[in-house]
């Protein structure tokens, strides 16, 4: 399963780190090989797959010899948006390398024979896994007769007057800092001196405004892990991992309004474009244990620590307006830069598996994550309100994954299902993520080949702007990702 893109409310001209950013980096997938993904990610109680170590590092100790693993993937990412009763679809094709890694095994011997009691073997693994994928195109359009982005611009201008809102020479030469000043200079808002308020430059009698919005995002989070694990008497397995994440998120948000042709105002259309690039590094750890109750039952417990991301935002915005006379005003912002950190929630996982001898198995994971514990921080301590919002808006969830495998000679036939519950306290149907998967594997003495097919679906909402006294339409989005993963393993 690949979790693609998190959408929320846009803050249209500033870096504006918010709960949406915290949620984006807190959503991660479980498993990144063809085997683990085709089993729905339910591999916490299983072993001998590098994708299982992301859930429970103790699973690495079940390798009896060294292994090299690499995976290749293809994603068909489709988004359907409904905005003001109008549907629009976008499609994206994306090749990936979701994982690669090495596992090295040290067997212990006594008098020339392999030890079977006590410490049997210890392993160390080095891996890279793509735990989050941000690539997505969301596009919607509709005719809004109730409000406009220009209403938002007028609210931003509160506190200014017509004497103080004008742009300076520095603004025109080196870029604006404030969007409301750009809107004023583009004749998108007017000023009423009788009450000291700004208002949208829109004809109240002709408010059939065409609104278009396209949000293109790309990037990913790759996790680099060093995992150590040990096997005690082929019954108890323990392990731990140090994880270093490298994340990159790039977003271009292009919003367009086309004025009512019958309007007598001073503009035909405008385009507001926001660009954001976020690059950062996160560090975390996880520990786990597996216990084989008997030859049929085994269970596992794992804990992933909170992850602290240090992030750098680079952002800019521009406003291009065409007047009724055909004059084009092209205004740009200064380049913005901001450094901050995000702490993601911890995860706890209980795993259980039942083996039908060498004929197959069924497995399941139950995972709990408290999204209300997400935090945003900076040197200026500027996120007290955002962190309070997180505590009130998000909740603890329980995610489940199940999988099964049937063995026929050298062939493995797999199926899986996963459900990641909504992190929202309200609107609990929003952001539920479900996956159905299946796959086939071939396992020979020294090599293996696995193919996984994964269909993931999630619904989310996007609001292009917010107003204090008026209700703004929402784009209702359905995201579908059809993914093919091919994994090759070689034992040594």
Q: How many CB atoms lie within 10 A of CB 358?
A: 7
Q: Tokens standing for 224?
A: 């680099």
pLDDT at 429: 74
First to last CA, the chain: 29
On whether residue 10 sits in a domain, the answer given is no
Long-range contacts of 259-264 (CB under 8 A, 24+ apart): 259/202, 259/209, 260/203, 260/206, 260/207, 260/208, 260/209, 262/203, 262/206, 263/202, 263/203, 263/206, 263/207, 264/203, 264/206
The answer to whether residue 65 sits within a structural domain is yes
| Residue 464: predicted pLDDT | 95
Parts of the chain with a pLDDT under 70: 1-16, 264
Q: Distance (Å, rounded) from C-alpha 430 to C-alpha 426?
A: 9
Backbone φ, ψ for residue 36 (5° rounding): -65, -40
pLDDT for the residue 14: 45
- Asked whether residue 142 is assigned to any structural domain, the reply reads yes
Cα separation, 443 vs 403, whole angstroms: 18
Residues with Cβ within 8 Å of residue 50, at least 6 apart in sequence: 33, 60, 67, 69, 99, 101, 103, 125, 127, 129
**Rounded-to-integer distance, Cα 273 and Cα 267, Å:** 17
Please report, for residues 5, 18, 475, the alpha-carbon distance to residue 431 in angstroms, rounded to integers and kept in the order given: 11, 17, 14
**How far is the C-alpha of 445 from the C-alpha of 439, rounded, in Å?**
20
Phi then psi for 302, rounded to 5 degrees? Answer: -145, 150
Q: How many domains does the chain have?
A: 1
Residue 293 and residue 52 in contact, taking contact as beta carbons nearer than 8 Å: no
pLDDT of residue 305: 97
Residue 393 CA to residue 373 CA, distance in Å, equals 11
Residue with tokens 């069924």, as numbered in its chain: 362
pLDDT at 223: 96
| Counts of helices then strands in the chain (DSSP H, E) | 6, 23
Nearest by Cα to 53 from 224, 186, 308: 224
- Determine the angle formed by the axes of helices 384-393 and 19-26, rounding to 10 degrees: 60
- Integer Cα distance of 290 and 236 in angstroms: 6
Asked if 13 and 317 count as a contact pair (C-beta separation under 8 A), the reply is yes
190, part of any domain:
no
Give the model's pLDDT for residue 322: 96
Predicted TM-score (pTM) of this structure:
0.92
Give residue 344's domain range: 19-148+202-491
In this structure, the strands spanning 411-420 and 396-408 are: antiparallel
8 A C-beta contact, residue 5 and residue 479? yes
Give a yes or no: residue 436 inside a domain: yes
- The predicted structure's pLDDT at residue 16: 63
Residue 468: CATH number of its domain: 2.40.160.60
In b/e form, how buried is each residue of 259-292, taking b as 16+ CB within 10 angstroms? bbeebebbbbebbbbbbbebebebebebbbbbbb
Residue 3: the pLDDT is 43
Angle at 86 between CA 83 and CA 88, to 5 degrees: 85
- From the CB of residue 182, how many other CB atoms can be counted at a distance below 10 Å? 26
Q: How many whole angstroms separate alpha carbon 467 and alpha carbon 412?
A: 55
Does the residue 433 lie in any domain? yes
165 within domain boundaries = no
> What's the pLDDT at 17?
80
Length of the chain: 492
> Which three-class secondary structure state does DSSP give residue 448?
strand
Domain membership flag for residue 157: no
């Amino acid at each position: 399963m690949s979790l693609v893109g998190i959408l929320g409310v846009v803050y249209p001209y500033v870096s504006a780190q918010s709960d949406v950013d915290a949620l984006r980096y807190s959503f991660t997938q479980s498993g990144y090989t063809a085997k683990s993904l085709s089993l729905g990610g339910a591999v916490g109680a299983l072993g001998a797959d590098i994708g299982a170590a992301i859930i429970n590092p103790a699973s690495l100790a079940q390798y009896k010899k060294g292994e090299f693993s690499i995976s290749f993937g293809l994603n068909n990412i489709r988004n359907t948006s409904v905005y003001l009763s109008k549907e629009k679809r976008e499609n994206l094709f994306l090749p990936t390398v979701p994982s690669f890694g090495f596992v090295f095994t040290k067997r212990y011997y006594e008098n020339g024979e392999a030890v079977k009691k006590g410490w049997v073997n210890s392993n160390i693994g080095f891996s890279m896994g793509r735990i989050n994928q941000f690539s997505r195109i969301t596009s919607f359009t509709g005719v809004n007769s109730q409000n406009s982005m220009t209403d938002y611009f007028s609210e931003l201008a509160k506190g200014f007057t017509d004497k103080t809102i004008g742009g300076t020479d520095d603004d025109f030469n080196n870029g604006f800092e404030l969007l409301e000043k750009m809107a004023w200079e583009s004749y998108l808002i007017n000023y009423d001196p009788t009450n000291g308020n700004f208002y949208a430059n829109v004809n109240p009698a002709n408010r059939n405004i065409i609104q278009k919005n396209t949000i293109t995002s790309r990037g990913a989070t790759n996790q680099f892990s060093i995992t150590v694990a040990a096997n005690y008497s082929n019954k108890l397995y323990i392990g731990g991992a140090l994880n270093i994440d490298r994340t990159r998120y790039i977003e271009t948000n292009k919003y367009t309004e086309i004025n009512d042709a019958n309007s007598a105002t001073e503009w035909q259309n405008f385009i507001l474009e926001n660009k954001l690039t976020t690059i950062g590094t996160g560090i975390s750890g996880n520990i786990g244990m597996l216990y084989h109750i008997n030859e049929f039952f085994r269970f596992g417990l794992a804990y992933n620590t909170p992850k602290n991301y240090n992030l750098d935002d680079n952002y800019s915005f521009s406003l291009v307006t065409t007047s009724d006379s055909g004059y084009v005003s092209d205004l740009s912002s200064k380049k913005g830069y901001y450094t901050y950190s995000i702490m993601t929630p911890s995860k706890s996982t209980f795993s259980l598996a039942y083996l039908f001898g060498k004929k197959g198995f069924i497995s399941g994971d139950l995972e709990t994550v408290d999204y209300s514990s997400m935090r945003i921080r900076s040197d200026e301590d500027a996120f007290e309100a955002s962190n309070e919002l997180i505590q009130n808006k998000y909740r603890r969830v329980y995610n489940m994954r199940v999988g099964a495998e049937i063995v026929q000679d050298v062939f493995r036939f797999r199926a899986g299902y996963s459900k990641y519950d909504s992190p929202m306290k309200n609107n609990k149907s929003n952001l539920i993520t479900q996956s159905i998967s299946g796959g086939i594997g071939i396992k020979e003495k020294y090599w293996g080949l696995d193919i996984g097919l994964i269909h993931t679906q999630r619904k989310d909402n996007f609001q292009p702007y917010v107003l204090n006294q008026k209700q703004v339409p929402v784009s209702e989005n359905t995201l579908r990702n059809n993914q093919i993963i091919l994994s090759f393993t070689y034992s040594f």
